[in-house]
Amino acid sequence: MSDLKSESCEACRADAPEVSEQEINTLSAHLPDWCVVEKDGERRLERVFRFKNFAQALAFTNKVGELAESEGHHPALLTEYGKVTVYWWTHKIGGLHRNDFIMAARTDALTHEGQSR
């Protein structure tokens, strides 16, 4: 498998298939800090990132926002004192696509750019 964080998202159509259970298991093995959760009837990737204070959490949120804009693929972000919860899923298909795993890997890479976990 290629390095997920070096991949770019592909344009996703409303009729694009969700990843299979086997694909979820394979891709999740590369993202050990992420969980597959169900929220509002849709499967999503979720991870909580921890920081020393609100300013660091907000700076990380902004970096994730910039990443999302660069790919045209947008997560749900919950920014709180000392933590940011990130949810990736593909809105058009109401579930998980390979793009979500790519974006999760790229989000993880942001933590290596001077942010603490």
pLDDT tens, residue by residue, 45-99: 999 999 999 999 999 999 999 999 998 899 999 999 999 999 999 989 999 999 9
Q: For residues 23 and 32, give the distance between their C-alpha atoms in angstroms, rounded to a whole number.
A: 15
DSSP 112: T
Domains of the chain, start order? 27-110 (3.30.1360.20)
- 43, 37 contact by CB (below 8 A): yes
pLDDT band at residue 42, thresholds of 50, 70 and 90? very high
Q: For residues 60 and 55, give the distance between their C-alpha atoms in angstroms, rounded to a whole number.
A: 9
Global pTM reads 0.89
What would the two tokens of residue 91 be? Answer: 């809105």
| Residue whose C-alpha is closest to residue 106's, from 80, 69, 79 | 69
Residue 103, classified by CB atoms within 10 Å of its CB into exposed (0-12), middle (13-18) or buried (19+), is buried
- 35, 101 contact by CB (below 8 A): no
- 109, 30 contact by CB (below 8 A): no
pLDDT band at residue 1, thresholds of 50, 70 and 90? very low
